């Protein structure tokens, strides 16, 4: 089979799964009105499928900072961090992230995806082991592949299975990188961090925690699961992204290990990628300040999340195991999920459709992302639409 023939096979499989003429993935957003509303085609829709957890994409402070940086420093750096792409703003944001986490140092990357690629492939290599949760994000899997280390998966959030696999490694546990996530993006559940830290200490391993979906969401100042649990000292490296709660694009890593800075000189994703634009960095810096002081934003986010989760659960939908800004409706088949997704869009509500193999355990998901910018009335409206579709689709 030729390279192009393989792509034809993929196209045929996609066509068999999705109705003709229905553009499910990559739906074009024609116009954006606010953090919660936009236009798709000729329909005004409510955003319930973004990761804009704190609703900061239109924050005046972020817009102003981005405009000023654009005027002063131009549209882009046109170079990597190793070449000409380390502006004063990049270094300032690294110091601000380190200060935010009370850590020794930080590194800023061009994307959150790149942050995981860079850190995992920089920390582990041939002869080492990376032990990851089975539901890990694609960036974690790809970072493992790039590293050349042996990849071992443990069952999702199953610390007994994780410890069993560490025990089997014997002395190799000392050269093992464990990777977990603060909040998992598919089902919205949290890692059992206390147990993971205890086990990694017992086996002298290194722990990297990806706080992409928990930054700004968990903890008094929004650090994430490390702050919510008080276990920041038990985590060796923390990665995250600007593209969720910070409303921008980019990634970071912070650590108390002084060796973090050496990753700049050996990590290919860091060395060979152009650095973030000045406007991106400036808006992220402004957003980080808002996030740090965003107690009221987090309160509103969790009020909205608990309101919608409770309503959908009462309606009989099968949901992820705990309330949070990621609310996953678990469907038995892609056909059911597609009907629910289209029904919501027809009612002006945009959510994410997740089909196998991306969805866990061969299921399909209709995934909602709640924001602090949503109102209680909007959550009521969403609940009403889900109730109507429950009757028309599943009964």
Along the chain (395 residues), what's the average pLDDT of each consecutive run of 10 residues? 88 73 77 96 94 98 98 97 96 98 98 98 97 96 98 98 97 98 96 98 98 98 98 98 98 97 95 97 98 97 98 96 96 90 95 86 91 98 96 79
Fold of 60-292: 3.40.640
**The length of the chain, given as a count of residues:** 395
pTM of this prediction?
Answer: 0.95
Beta bridge mates, 207: 178
Give the whole-angstrom CA distance, residue 139 versus residue 144. 9
Question: Given this model, what pLDDT does residue 346 score?
Answer: 93
Give the whole-angstrom CA distance, residue 368 versus residue 325. 8
Give the pair of three-digit tokens for residue 101: 């986490």
- Which tens digits make up the pLDDT trace of 312-338? 999 999 999 999 999 999 998 888 999
Average pLDDT of every residue of the chain = 95
Nearest to 248 by CA among 100, 89, 58: 58
CATH of 13-47+295-394, one of 3.20.20.70, 1.10.10.10, 3.90.1150.10, 3.50.50.60: 3.90.1150.10
Residue 304 backbone phi and psi in degrees, to 5: -65, -45
Give the whole-angstrom CA distance, residue 322 versus residue 189. 6
Nearest to 351 by CA among 55, 57, 50: 50
Beta carbons of 242 and 248 less than 8 angstroms apart: yes
DSSP string computed for 57-112: GG-HHHHHHHHHHHHHH-S---SBTTTT---HHHHHHHHHHHHHTT-SEEEEES-H
Question: Given this model, what pLDDT does residue 19 score?
Answer: 66
Question: What is the residue extent of each domain of the chain?
Answer: 13-47+295-394, 60-292
For residue 181, give Cα distances in angstroms to 114, 157, 202, 222.
Answer: 16, 10, 20, 15
């Amino acid at each position: 089979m030729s390279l192009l023939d393989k792509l034809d096979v993929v196209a045929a499989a996609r066509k068999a799964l999705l109705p003709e003429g229905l553009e499910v993935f990559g739906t074009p957003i024609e116009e954006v009105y606010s953090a919660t509303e936009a236009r798709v085609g000729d329909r005004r829709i409510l955003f319930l499928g973004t990761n804009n957890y704190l609703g900061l994409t239109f924050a005046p402070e972020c817009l102003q900072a981005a405009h000023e940086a654009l005027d002063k420093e131009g549209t882009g750096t046109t170079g990597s961090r190793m070449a000409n792409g380390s502006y004063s703003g990049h270094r300032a944001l690294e110091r601000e992230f380190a200060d935010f986490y009370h850590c020794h140092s930080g590194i800023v990357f061009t994307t959150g995806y790149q942050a995981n690629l860079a850190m995992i492939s920089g920390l582990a290599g041939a002869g080492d082991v990376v032990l990851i949760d089975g539901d890990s994000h694609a960036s974690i899997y790809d970072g493992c592949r790039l590293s050349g280390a042996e990849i071992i998966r443990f069952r999702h959030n199953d610390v007994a299975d994780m410890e069993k696999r560490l025990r089997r490694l014997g002395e190799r546990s000392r050269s093992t990188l464990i990777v977990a996530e603060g909040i998992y993006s598919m089902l919205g559940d949290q890692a059992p961090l206390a147990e993971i830290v205890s086990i990694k200490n017992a086996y002298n391993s290194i722990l990297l925690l990806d706080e992409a979906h928990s930054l700004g969401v968990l903890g008094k100042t929004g650090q994430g699961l490390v702050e919510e649990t008080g276990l920041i000292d038990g985590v060796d490296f923390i990665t995250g992204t600007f593209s969720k709660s910070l409303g921008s694009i980019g990634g970071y890593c912070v650590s108390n290990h002084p060796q973090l800075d050496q990753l700049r000189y050996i990590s290919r994703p860091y060395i060979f990628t152009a650095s973030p634009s000045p406007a991106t960095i400036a808006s992220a810096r402004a957003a980080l300040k808002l996030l740090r002081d965003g107690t009221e934003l987090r309160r509103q986010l969790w009020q909205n999340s608990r309101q919608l989760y409770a309503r959908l659960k009462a309606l009989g939908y099968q949901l992820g195991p705990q309330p949070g800004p990621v609310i996953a409706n678990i469907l038995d088949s892609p056909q059911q999920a597609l009907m629910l997704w289209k029904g919501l869009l027809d009612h002006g509500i945009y959510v994410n459709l997740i089909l196998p193999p991306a969805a866990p355990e061969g299921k399909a998901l209709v995934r909602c992302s709640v924001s602090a910018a949503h109102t209680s009335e909007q959550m009521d409206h969403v609940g009403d639409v889900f109730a109507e579709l429950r009757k028309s689709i599943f009964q």
